Chain A
C-alpha cells in the first residue's frame, strides 16, 4: 500500500466552527507532515511529526492544532479559522531519513466562510 488517504475531500466551515482533518498511511512511515497550499503556489510546511512526536511547528497559529494518535494517523483540528485559511491542506508521510521521498495525500479543500 503506497497511498496516503485524507478525509474529507472538501470542507466548508464557518469561522466559529470546530472541525478536523484526517490523514492515514499504512506504509510504515515514521514521519508525517501537514502542508498548506494556496492556488498555484508551492506547499508550505505547517507541522512535522517524527516517531509520533511533534518535531517542527512552523509558527502556525494556535487555531490549527495537530495530533498524531499513532504511527499511521495524523489529525489537524481546526477552530475559529479565518477566511484567509481557505486552502488545500496536504498530508504527507516518509521515513525520517533525508533521502526518502515524501508521499502526499490528495488533500482536503478547505473553505472558510
Chain B
C-alpha cells in the first residue's frame, strides 16, 4: 500500500538552531515528493519539490530537503530556525501518472525563543 509517514507529531527547536522535519514514504515506482507548510486557519503553501536530479532541493524561505532513495526519505531542513517557521508541515507524494497527492499526517513545528 502507498503511504507517507511523518514519524514525529511535534518537533521543538530553539530559534537559531538547525531544524529537521522527517518524511518517509512507501510507494512503488519513482514518485514526486513535495513539502507544504500551513499556518493557522490558512491554506497550504508550497515549499519545494523533488522530481529528479540533484538529491538536495532548495525551496522557499530558506528551506531545503534531501531525497534519499535507498531510505525512501525526503527530510525537510533549515540551517537556522526562525520563530515565523512555527507551523504545521505536510510531506506529500504524487505519482507520475496520477493527479492526487498522498499527504503525510503532518508535523507541528514549534520554534522556541
Interface residues of A (CB under 8 A from B): 4, 6, 31, 33, 40-43, 45, 48, 50, 55-56, 88, 90, 92, 96, 98-99, 101-107, 109
Q: Which residue of B45, B46, B96, B103 is within 8 Å of A98 (Cβ)?
A: B96
Q: Does B28 contact A (CB under 8 A)?
A: no
A104 touches B43 (CB 8 A): yes
Task: List residues 66-113 of chain B with CB under 8 A from any CB of chain A.
Answer: 88, 90, 94-101, 103-106, 108
A45 touches B104 (CB 8 A): no
Q: How large is the interface on B (under 10, 10 to 19, 20 to 34, 35 or more residues)?
A: 20 to 34
A99 touches B103 (CB 8 A): no
Chain A binding surface, main DSSP class: strand
A99 touches B32 (CB 8 A): yes
Cα–Cα distance between A40 and B41 once the two chains are bound (Å): 10
Contacts A88-B41, A99-B49, A107-B43 given; does A42 touch B90 at CB 8 Å = yes
Residue interface mask B31-54, A partner, CB < 8 A = 1: 010101000011111100101000
B99 touches A101 (CB 8 A): no
Q: Which residue of A41, A42, A55, A105 is within 8 Å of B43 (Cβ)?
A: A105
Chain A residues with Cβ below 8 Å from B96 are 98-99
8 further A-B contacts with Cβ under 8 Å, apart from A88-B41, A98-B99, A104-B44, are: A41-B105, A42-B105, A50-B99, A98-B94, A99-B94, A101-B34, A101-B46, A107-B42
A98 touches B105 (CB 8 A): no
A40 touches B42 (CB 8 A): no
A96 touches B99 (CB 8 A): yes
The smallest C-beta distance from A98 to any residue of chain B, in angstroms, reads 4
A90 touches B44 (CB 8 A): yes
Residue of A nearest to B51 (CB): A99
Chain A residues with Cβ below 8 Å from B95 are 98
